[in-house]
Amino acid sequence: MNQLKCLLWDVDGTLADTERDGHRVAFNMAFEEAGLDRRWDVPTYGELLKVTGGKERIQFDIDRGGMHNMPHETIAQIHASKTIHYQNLIADGLIPLRPGVLRLLEEAYAADIILGVATTTTPSALNALIEHSLGHAWFERFAVLAAGDIVPAKKPAPDIYTYAMKELGVSPEETLALEDSGNGWLAAQAAKLKCVITVNDYTRNQDFNGADLVVSEFGEPDSPAVEIFINSHNLNDVHHVTLEHLQRIMTKTGSW
Ligand code: XBP
Ligand code: MG
């Protein structure tokens, strides 16, 4: 029987709904600054989210003919400017944490669960979110911040999860991933991790077949009950997701 020893957190869409009003807006600001007439509206950005990584997303849009005037700057320069705009948006306090995130983090930290981050986003973008939405103390409380180009292949490849576990000295059998997207779920699955998913407007129709628990959000005790979409372990008391639910998921043998 496996005990929960480590929680690995995805960032965008899981800790906070950063994509629509954060990253997307910052990309558009950078395009404007670079003299590009391209703007990513909300549905277009939803399509582009199938490509993980901001630089890769811009490249993909160029390759598919989305950008009609080619950028003067390189993609790396446009992305660097996007990251600064994103950091400023986060510093303005526009993107709160999702419901239940801080409660679960605090519960797990108090229980001596090892906490780590495994994300596709750029380290400086992650740092801004920790500083302004979580609080400075969390730089110490996360035992690893695995982000961006630190691995060659981004999600849906398992690499960022494998890297984080190696840094922490933990095994997949004692680690649970918290994700929000199909690409995140594929990455966790390929890393042989159990996985709980909190969907959002961009991801609720994606394929999470085989995930351990898929819910609308982690929720809060004093809010209405969360919606449950997949409940592979038949947890029968999920009003909001607690550390105890995550521990129960880990103790299941995988015979479902
Ligand atoms: C989400 C991503 C990132 C962000 C943009 O990462 O795919 O590319 O959309 O961030 P995750 P960057 O869900 O793994 O946290 O522009 O910094 O790549
Ligand atoms: Mg995500």
Q: Ligand 1 centroid vs 251 CA: distance in angstroms?
A: 31
The answer to the question of residue 1 being in a domain is no
12 and 27 fall within a common domain: no
pLDDT in tens, the chain (256 residues): 789 999 999 999 999 999 999 999 999 999 999 999 999 999 999 999 999 999 999 999 999 999 877 776 789 999 999 999 999 999 999 899 999 999 999 999 999 999 999 999 999 999 999 999 999 999 999 999 999 999 999 999 999 999 999 999 999 999 999 999 999 999 999 999 999 999 999 999 999 999 999 999 999 999 999 999 999 999 999 999 999 999 999 997 544 3
Q: Which of 32, 57, 91 finishes a domain?
A: 91
Residue 237 resides in a domain: yes
**CA-proximal residue: ligand 1, atom 8 (nearest):** 53
pLDDT for the residue numbered 254: 47
DSSP symbol at 148: G
Evaluate: CB of 122 within 6 angstroms of ligand 1.
yes
Q: Tell me, what's the pLDDT at 69?
A: 72
Q: Is the CB of 179 under 6 A from ligand 1?
A: no
Smallest-distance ligand from the CA of 159:
1
The two beta strands, 213-215 and 228-231, are: antiparallel
Determine whether the shortest distance from the Cβ of 126 to ligand 1 is under 6 A: no
Report pLDDT for 113: 98
Residue minimizing CA distance to atom 7 of ligand 1: 52
Residues 185 and 234 in one domain: yes
213: domain CATH number? 3.40.50.1000
Q: Based on the domain organization, do 221 and 136 belong to the same domain?
A: yes
What's residue 55's pLDDT? 96
Mutation choice for ligand 1 from 83, 97, 120, 145, CB with most ligand atoms inside 8 A: 120
Nearest to 34 by CA among 71, 75, 84, 68: 71
| Beta carbons of 149 and 196 less than 8 angstroms apart | no
16 DSSP β-pair partners: 12, 97
With a 6 Å cutoff on the Cβ, whether 121 touches ligand 1 is: yes
Q: In terms of domains, do 166 and 55 share one?
A: no
Q: Is the CB of 53 under 6 A from ligand 1?
A: yes
The beta strands (E) that lie in 55-171 are given as 114-119, 144-147
Domain carrying residue 56: 19-91
Distance from C-alpha of 122 to C-alpha of 146, rounded to nearest angstrom: 10
pLDDT of 244 reads 97
Which ligand has its closest atom nearest to the C-alpha of 182? 2
CA of 10 to the centre of ligand 1 (A): 10
For residue 256, what pLDDT is reported?
38
Task: Provide the whole-model pTM.
Answer: 0.96
Query: Whose C-alpha lies nearest to ligand 1, atom 13?
Result: 12
In a shared domain, residues 149 and 189: yes
158 and 179 belong to one structural domain = yes
What value does the CA radius of gyration of the chain take, rounded to a whole number of Å?
Answer: 18
CA of 121 to the centre of ligand 2 (A): 9
Which residues are identified as catalytic? 10, 12
Q: Specify the CATH number for the domain of residue 87.
A: 1.10.150.240
Q: Which among 48, 63, 91 is the end of a domain?
A: 91
Residue 231 has φ and ψ, to the nearest 5°, of: -140, 75
Q: Do 181 and 148 reside in the same domain of the chain?
A: yes
Pocket flag, ligand 1, residue 24 (CB < 6 Å): no
User: Does ligand 1 lie within 6 Å of residue 200's CB atom?
Assistant: no
Measured from the Cα of 118, ligand 1's closest atom is: 14
